Amino acid sequence: MQIKNLIQQLEWHTVRRWSTRELSGIRKIIFHQELGDSTIEQVNSYHIKPNHISPRGCPHFAYHYGIRKNGEIIQANELSQITWHTKGENSHGIGIMLVGNFKGNGNEDATDDPTDKQIKSAEELANYLIDVFKLSKQDVFGHYQFGKPVCPGFKMQEWIENFRNDISEIKDIIKIKKTVKEIQKRLNSLGYAAGPVDDMMGVRTRYAIRRFQTDNLLETDGIVGPQTWKKLLLLTQNG
């Protein structure tokens, strides 16, 4: 997989710049479609002028990556930059836009679908980012899951559902028996100070679970259910 870096080459807003974040805060990968028939360069020009996203214009192309119809992957922003692609998810999300005007909910009349090369690049890029940021396939989403039904369209939506439901990556580690001892050992290795590994669910262990859940955007209930257990296993796979 090749990623072409156009962060500098694509024109920037005259004065506006993105806020930034720690890379450790990245939790989600979110796919989008362009909903148009322009190039990445043209979308960039649109984004940096007054537009529907911001009356003053955005600092730059509003996604981290764009994928052209020929499958070429363009990086448009640093991953430490908080771009404006998904309301409520930008501080921890990576935004990826596929060029095109795809059929989707509310856009049934469109005639376009993502190309096979675009989907192949989307999959390679998602797998690469999962690896770099220690995410899981369940951390890959479409904008439709955050209130925009048309984005990224029927074909990508189907691909996302299939990708998210592939549990082959976790079926080996999920066999590990969930005991309090195992939970404590793993929380401690991540620096959550669950206390001595005594197999007892005490106050410190419960507090460590809640902090782990908060940090990983899981429901903060202090209970190690399937989602919390899976995340804990994924983050402690090699230790």
| Nearer CB in complex with Zn ion: 35/187 | 35
| Nearer CB in complex with Zn ion: 32/137 | 32
- Residue 232 CB, shortest distance to Zn ion, in Å, is 31
User: How far apart are the two ends of the chain, measured CA to CA in Å?
Assistant: 29
Look at residues 233, 232, 182, 234 and name the one whose alpha carbon lies nearest to residue 212. 232
Other beta carbons within 10 angstroms of residue 33's beta carbon come to 29
- Residue 62 CB, shortest distance to Zn ion, in Å, is 9
- Residue 152 CB, shortest distance to Zn ion, in Å, is 6
| Nearer CB in complex with Zn ion: 60/143 | 143
Q: Does residue 181 sit in helix, strand or coil?
A: helix
Question: Could you give the angle at which helices 180-189 and 203-215 cross, rounded to 10 degrees?
Answer: 60
Q: Strand locations in 124-178, DSSP E?
A: 140-142
- Residue 102 CB, shortest distance to Zn ion, in Å, is 11
Residues 79 and 93: their CA atoms lie apart, in Å, by 9
| Nearer CB in complex with Zn ion: 28/143 | 143
> What is the contact surface with Zn ion in residues (CB under 5 A)?
32, 143, 151
